[in-house]
Amino acid sequence: MFKINDNYLKLPGSYLFSTIAKKVSAYQAEHPDKQVIRLGIGDVTQPLAPAIIQALHGAVDEMADAATFHGYAPDLGYEFLRNAIAKNDYADRGCEIAADEIFVSDGAKCDSGNIQEIFSVDNKIAVCDPVYPVYVDTNVMAGRTGTYDPKTEVWSDVIYMPCTMANHFAPELPKETPDIIYLCFPNNPTGATITKAQLQEWVDYANRAGAVIIYDAAYEAYISEDDVPHSIYECAGARTCAIELKSFSKNAGFTGTRLGYTVIPKDLTCGGVTLHSLWARRHGTKYNGAPYIVQRAGEAVYSPEGKEQLKAQVAYYMNNAKTIKDGLKAAGYTVSGGVNAPYIWLKTPDRMSSWEFFDYLLERANVVGTPGSGFGPSGEGYFRLTAFGTYENTVAALERIKKM
Site for its own copies in 326-365 (CB under 8 A): none
Q: Is 111 exposed, middle or buried (0-12, 13-18, 19+ CB in 10 A)?
A: buried
- What is the nearest approach in angstroms of its own copies to the Cβ of residue 262? 14
Find the shortest distance in angstroms from Cβ 255 to its own copies.
4
DSSP string for residues in 72-86: SPPTT--HHHHHHHI
For the chain, what is the radius of gyration of the CA atoms? 21
Q: Cβ distance 344 to 337 under 8 Å?
A: yes
* Partners of residue 105 on adjacent β-strands: 260
* Nearest-approach distance from CB 38 to its own copies, in angstroms: 10
The span from the CA of 341 to the CA of 359, in Å, is 25
Under the binding rule (CB under 8 A), the answer on residue 1 touching its own copies is: yes
Q: Which of residues 11-40 bind its own copies (CB under 8 A)?
A: 11, 14-15, 18
> Could you tell me the sign of the dihedral formed by the alpha carbons of 301, 302, 304, 309, in that order?
positive
Q: How far is CA 152 from the centre of its chain?
A: 25
Q: Least distance (Å) from its own copies to the CB of residue 142?
A: 9
Q: How many residues bind its own copies (CB under 8 A)?
A: 82
Q: How far is the CB of 5 from its own copies (least distance, A)?
A: 5
Q: How many CB atoms lie within 10 A of CB 58?
A: 14
The nearest distance, CB 106 to its own copies, in angstroms, is 6
Residues 199-238, interacting with its own copies (CB under 8 A):
209-212
Residue 39 · residue 365 · CB < 8 Å: no
**What is the distance between the alpha carbons of residues 9 and 211, in angstroms, rounded to a whole number?**
29
Residues 32 and 178: their CA atoms lie apart, in Å, by 49
255 lines the binding site for its own copies (CB under 8 A) = yes
| Binding-site member from 180, 217, 238, 310 for its own copies (CB under 8 A) | 180
The one-letter amino acid code at 191 reads G
Q: Which residue from 20, 89, 99, 106 is in contact with its own copies, where contact means CB under 8 A?
A: 106
The single residue among 35, 69, 88, 308 that binds its own copies, judged by CB under 8 A, is: 69
Q: Can you tell me which of 25, 35, 120, 334 binds its own copies, judged by CB under 8 A?
A: 120
Which member of 147, 152, 156, 285 binds its own copies (CB under 8 A)?
285
Nearer to its own copies, 323 or 336 (CB): 323
Q: For its own copies, give the closer residue by CB, 43 or 359.
A: 43
Q: Which is nearer to its own copies, 53 or 396 (CB)?
A: 53
Q: Contact region for its own copies (CB under 8 A) — 219-227, 254-262, 305-313, 346-354?
A: 254-262
| Subset of residues 378 to 397 that bind its own copies, contact rule: CB under 8 A | 390
Nearer to its own copies, 99 or 140 (CB): 140
333: Cα separation from own chain's centroid: 25
- Tell me: does residue 110 bind its own copies (CB under 8 A): yes
Q: Does 71 bind its own copies (CB under 8 A)?
A: yes
354-365 and 391-403 are packed helices; what angle lies between their axes, rounded to 10 degrees? 100
Q: Would you say 77 and 102 are in contact if contact means Cβ atoms under 8 Å apart? A: yes
The Cα 322–Cα 86 span in angstroms is 32
Q: How many other CB atoms are there within 10 angstroms of residue 166's CB atom?
A: 8
- Which of 83, 113, 162, 174 is close enough to bind its own copies by CB under 8 A? 113
- Determine if 173 is a binding residue for its own copies (CB under 8 A): no
- Near its own copies by CB under 8 A: residue from 134, 387, 398, 401: 134
**Contact with its own copies (CB under 8 A) among 293, 301, 362, 387:** 293
Find the binding residues for its own copies in span 38-67 (CB under 8 A).
Answer: 41, 43-48, 50, 53, 56-57, 60-61, 63-66
Residue 155 φ then ψ, to 5°: -90, 135
Task: Please check whether residue 186 is in contact with residue 222, taking contact to mean a CB–CB distance below 8 angstroms.
Answer: yes
